[in-house]
Amino acid sequence: MAINYERLKARKFPDVEQRYTKRDTMLYALGIGLGQDPMNEAQLEFVYEERLKALPTMSVVLGSPGFWLKQPDTGVDWVKVLHGEQGLVNHKPLPAEATVVGKTHIKEIIDKGKDKGALILQERNVYDQSTGELLATLTSTTFGRGDGGFGGPSGPTPQPHAIPERRPDAVCDLSTLPMAALIYRLSGDYNPLHADPKVAKAAGFKQPILHGLCTFGVAGHAILKTCCGYRPERMQSMQLRFSAPVYPGETIRTEMWNDGNVVSFRSKVVERDIVVLNNGKVQLAG
């Protein structure tokens, strides 16, 4: 079954209401890796209920419709899909606890051609249920490796943010825990690829891999630490491309270039010297 462009683009998603508590906020931060140093008081504010703050990247786990691409009526070969890009815009700092409503729609489906796949561009707006305020806008691009040639538009395709050619202005190494994926999955993504060795090996990996959005959060932590002084209100937006998977326990090195209120970045795994996140851009508040 191939993608039906008009039907998939018009797909209706039910609103997703989600109540998250301080416990959920702390669990997300622990999954990203904060709190490894028990004496780091700046990180403690994200993992301890006194004066608790939410990490700005936590919006990616709020109000999600789940892995809807697996539904047969989408026409998508879900086994071959990859998470290609992720972006977020925080319209205001996330509360430490709240009830939110996520509203998802498909922005576009780009046909790269038979044997070249398709790009599915989604957008999700997350609202505070009690006030109606828009908290965050999340964008993502899914690469359907087996879905090209359905007759949809061939462009325009999103252009990646260019990384400066000079040496980075700052570098931050953050280690991940061997059990990082098992902790992070408790924030809502229960894909067995991140937990079950048999599933991971069947997918071609030597062991369960870290969630892409967990790696996204680790890079966000590096920028929050290095460029924002652990002040979530300074990180207004973040976008990147996923390049390669990370294995739990590896060290993620984030290289940063500062140009005014724009931080360009990419992240590498130190142990394998491989780029795992690329074309990153963060917009800081003035």
Residues with catalytic function? 189, 194, 209, 212
Report residue 147 CA to chain centroid gap: 23
Cα gap 267→144, rounded to integer Å: 24
What are the contacts of 9-13 at 24+ separation with CB within 8 A?
9/106, 9/108, 9/109, 11/74, 11/106, 13/65, 13/68, 13/103, 13/104, 13/105
Cα gap 275→267, rounded to integer Å: 6
Cα gap 181→159, rounded to integer Å: 30
Bond preceding residue 160 cis, omega within 30 of 0: no
Cα gap 97→103, rounded to integer Å: 19
Find residue 18's DSSP bridge partners: 100
SS (H, E, C) 191-209: CHHHCCHHHHHHCCCCCCC
Strands (E), 61-157: 81-90, 98-111, 118-128, 134-144
Q: Are 209 and 194 in contact (CB under 8 A)?
A: yes
Q: Are 279 and 271 in contact (CB under 8 A)?
A: no
- The alpha carbon dihedral of 43, 45, 47, 48 has a sign of positive
